[in-house]
Structure 1
Amino acid sequence: MLYFLTSLQRISLMASKSQRLHQIAGSNLQSSTKRARTMATNSSMRDAFSKHAEYLNNLNDKRERVVKASRDVTMNSKKVIFQVHRMSKYNKEEVLEKAEKDLAAVTNQHVSRLVKELQGTDFWKLRRAYSPGIQEYIEAATFYNFCKTGSLLKLDEINSTLLPLSDPSLEPLQINVLDYLLGLADLTGELMRLAIGQISDGELEFAEKICRFVRDIYRDLTLVVPIMDDSSDMKTKMDTMLQSVMKIENACFSVHVRGSEYIPLLGSNDPSSFLVGLPDIEL
């Protein structure tokens, strides 16, 4: 066919074919480059998602271990509190000595697990997982310390006992102020029960000391809680704390008013009794 075309037409036709071949080649090259770029992008995204998935899986596994350790701390801290409640004027030293050993066991066996899991990490990410156990531990430690020394165990003193459990090369777990105050709020409830028991044993002086101590804690917290961030739990516990203060005050006041005639009976209808409304003992 090219034989019948003029030279100019043959040159034009050949140029057109050459141009189409270049366009096809360029299109194929561009498609290959785009495909390679897309594959590289997909590969980098898969790597990024894999890293995030691994991080989240490890965090969830750590959270489960922290929750388990926190439950163990809670359970064994309650045993320390129950041990202290066995105290009377006849066996105080013996009971407190046993409570001290139990508290040391909680620290070394169970709190240490929390410390190992949480040191060097962002504690606030998992705070909800371990906070209940820490609050119960603070309650047990401060309850024992008050019965032993008559004073309040401070946050710095508690945190100092956790330092030997940590790796010196990593940031250690330190109990925050909010968990400490929440533990103190629960402490007042245990002190209320202890005060009632001491009155029953005739230890009015010790009960009055407890009353002053609990009243001071409540008064100081009423100044702090309103300006705290994330204090909804604390504000709820303040109402319970006020009830504990009132029960101790009413009990001590009733003893002073009625003297030796004061014998608290469950189910009493006496308005001055701190046990009003409780069911009668079934014999």
Structure 2
Amino acid sequence: MSQNRGNRRNYHGRSGGRGGSGAGGGGGGRRGGRDGQNAGSGSSLDETNPIIQSFRGYARELDAKHDRHERIVKCSRDITIESKRIIFLLHTIDPRKNNDAKVCEEAKQRLENLFRNQFFIIAKELRGQDAYQYARAYTHGMQEFIEAYSFYEYSSGQDISHWQVVQEKLSYKHDATPPVKQESTNEPNDSTTAEVATTAEVAEGSDGQAEAESPPATTNESQATLESVCLLQPLDFVLGLGDLSGEIMRKCINGLGSGQVDSCFGHCRFMQDLYRGFLSVSSARSRDFTHKMNTLRQSLVKSENVCYNVTMRGGEAAKWGGGPSDEAFASFVGNSNFEAAEEDEGVYF
């Protein structure tokens, strides 16, 4: 019985697929006809349809946004690389070589170049746009720059600037540049493509890095003056200061190795004040802020351990640095053969 039912089902299925005389066959013919009509209509769309035109415009807007995002990310990477190089440069300051003025001047010039070039490009890209939509595109570069800028101010003996002071330096006034004409396969009324052409002014140099025109010092009265701002969020500024703690900790340890014992306590006090300020911020609901707090605490503990060792074993720490306190430590210990004993000492683990 079950075999006969299976044969009847197979028979009706084959007749429907062939468009036969049965009910299944008629249904198969109607489905085939509708599929043919849909295939024919999908090959050619009505471009004059307002819905089609609207979605074409949405696609162009999304493409323009993604292209702008990628250009900002590229500038952010250049800022990150240059900021790290400036930090490494500032770590080469050695009081024994008396090169602090030369190194700080070079670091200042390189920071000014970042203001004039990469940040100016980002400011022009953000003009007329919602800056908060692209904030995550350059947040890492901004934090690294704040770290380098604040480390330069600390190394040169200046006070750490307020975030509003840095924000004013990231505001530019420049002349309106005419839009660059580009060939496009889109419709002639493509306003979004023209807008992208005005902002895409990044030129590739011979070294593969982005080059841009610096904001002119004088403006022509016959041209309209535009104002572009690179947004600096307060959270990015605070996170950049959190990264500064790692550089101060490294400077503290290097000061102990070079014999500048007194500077270790100054670095430690600065980090304690910085950590106290971070503790006063209790309303920051940010995962990055919590991570920076943990890093700052670890750096502070390392600096305090250095100062503790200097205090408890002060003579030995000064002796390691090779400073002028070796003779005083030798007289305090009462060992007349201090230098000879130092030559015979070995390394014990």
Sort the TM-score into its range (normalised by shorter chain).
0.7 to 0.9
TM-score by length of 1: 0.74
Q: Any conservation in 2 of the 1:84–1:99 contact (CA below 8 Å)?
A: yes
| Correspondence for 1:227 | 283
| Correspondence for 2:10 | none
Aligned counterparts, 1:100-139, within 5 A: 100-139=108-147
- Which range moved further: 89-98 or 53-62? 89-98
| Correspondence for 1:144 | 152
Distance in 2 between the 1:127 and 1:60 partners?
A: 14
TM-score by length of 2: 0.60
Number of residues of Structure 1 aligned to a counterpart in Structure 2: 225
**SS state of the match for residue 227, structure 1?**
coil
Q: Any conservation in 2 of the 1:196–1:251 contact (CA below 8 Å)?
A: yes
Letter in 2 for 1:112: F
User: C-alpha displacement at 1:210, in angstroms?
Assistant: 1.6
5+ long unaligned stretches in structure 1: 1-38, 265-283
Letter in 1 for 2:148: A
| Correspondence for 1:159 | 167
Aligned Cα root-mean-square deviation (Å): 2.3
Distance in 2 between the 1:166 and 1:46 partners?
A: 39
Residue 199 of structure 1: which of 256, 261, 269 is its match? 256
Return structure 1 stretches of 4+ with deviation > 4 angstroms. 39-42, 165-168
Larger radius of gyration, structure 1 or 2?
A: 1
Residue 173 of structure 1: which of 224, 230, 240 is its match? 230
Distance in 1 between the 2:136 and 2:119 partners?
A: 16
User: Percent identity among equivalent residues?
Assistant: 33
Q: Any conservation in 2 of the 1:96–1:144 contact (CA below 8 Å)?
A: yes
Whichever structure has more helix as a proportion of its residues is 1
Q: Any conservation in 1 of the 2:255–2:261 contact (CA below 8 Å)?
A: yes
User: C-alpha displacement at 1:165, in angstroms?
Assistant: 5.9
| Correspondence for 1:250 | 305
| Correspondence for 1:78 | 84
Distance in 1 between the 2:230 and 2:255 partners?
A: 37
Q: Provide Cα deviations, 1:83-117, integer angstroms capped at 9, x if missing partner.
A: 10000112111111111112112222222222221
Whichever structure has more strand as a proportion of its residues is 2
Distance in 1 between the 2:93 and 2:127 partners?
A: 36
Letter in 2 for 1:140: A
